[in-house]
Amino acid sequence: MVHVRVIAPPTLADAAHTAVRNHPTALNVVRLRGATERPAGDLILCDVAREDASVLVSELRDLGLEREGSIALEPISSLVSEAADRAEEVAAGSPADAVVWEQVETYTSESAELSFSFLAFMVLATLIAALGIVQDSQILIIGAMVVGPEFGPLAGVCVALVQRQRALAWRSFRALAIGFPLAIAAALGLAAILRATSSAPADLSAASHPATLFISHPDEYSVLVALLAGVAGVLSLSTAKSGALIGVLISVTTIPAAANVGVAAAYGDWSEFRGALAQLAVNLVALVAAGFATLALQRVLYRRRHARMRHARAGLSS
């Protein structure tokens, strides 16, 4: 279930209350007249089945409520109520599979911001991966994958393409376009320092780092893993399975590939450089393509659900 808090100005309060009260899976409806300030209006509260949360929000937005009032959503961890059980039975599908589009948009919008923390984690993750490449340590490579924050902007690109949000697309692209070059430059600098101080191997031959050689040698499996990870990543963000995201991050080699680009440049190994760059490109393109396709399918299913509810409600009113 999802808790919905609506602040409605006097001109829209009756219509908003009617929309909430008549929604088939809304319950615990409360209306407090004149209870809010800035903006002044009524406070309307309800709980709604997760499957229908975005449908209800869409109906409220159709009233223009977002321009003159506000709509807030909060997930409910537990609700002991037979009425809530019946509401979830009425809502088609499983709550675990439901997409609350407003929450997806909020998460991706925040994680796609170009901020100091984003750049810091990009650089730190890539430096860890660079050390993993120099030391041929798969443990460090895995650690770098977990630390890397790049999936947020990638998910932001997918959401922006599906929702046709130019502002989100630009923020996500900017974060990636600045974050990856900065991280690569940091890896190059670290590798150059390690070489200058004789703390790194003399070369990056296959014999010197067999455990991490895969990073600069993309193949059909690289594409397949990135596609599957893109689907899993978007599903973990859009449904109630967010714990799966860690596994997704460990599955893709975007951060290690970026680190290898910098390390190979420091060594002047241009064959390794091109291979790592190709691995990075393969992962980025496949992740976005798979994520976009997954979100697009979820969006189609949501629109069909919304259309069915509108049709059913129109039939009842006639």
- The pLDDT, as a whole number, for residue 216 is 82
Give percent of the chain with pLDDT exceeding 90.
45
- The pLDDT, as a whole number, for residue 217 is 84
- The pLDDT, as a whole number, for residue 312 is 63
- The pLDDT, as a whole number, for residue 242 is 56
Say if residue 317's pLDDT is above 80.
no
Distance CA 290, CA 284 (A): 10
Say if residue 131's pLDDT is above 70.
yes
- The pLDDT, as a whole number, for residue 243 is 55
Distance CA 248, CA 231 (A): 9
Chain segment 71-130, per-residue pLDDT in tens: 999 988 888 888 888 888 777 666 666 788 888 888 888 788 889 999 999 999 999 999
Provide the whole-model pTM.
0.81
In whole numbers, what is the pLDDT of the chain averaged over residues?
86
Q: Domain extents for the chain?
A: 2-98, 104-302
Alpha helices in the chain (DSSP H): 10-22, 53-62, 65-68, 82-90, 101-111, 116-135, 138-147, 151-163, 166-196, 220-238, 245-251, 254-267, 270-317
Say if residue 318's pLDDT is above 60.
no
Chain segment 266-314, per-residue pLDDT in tens: 999 898 899 999 999 999 999 999 999 999 998 888 888 777 766 665 5
Which range of 75-79, 147-151, 187-191 scores highest in mean pLDDT? It is: 187-191
Taken as a whole, the chain contains a residue count of 318
Report the pLDDT averaged over residues 22-41.
91
Which range of 105-119, 132-146, 167-181, 188-202 scores highest in mean pLDDT? It is: 167-181
Residue 76 CB: number of other CB atoms within 10 A? Answer: 12
Fold designation for 2-98: Alpha-Beta Plaits (3.30.70)
Distance CA 125, CA 146 (A): 8
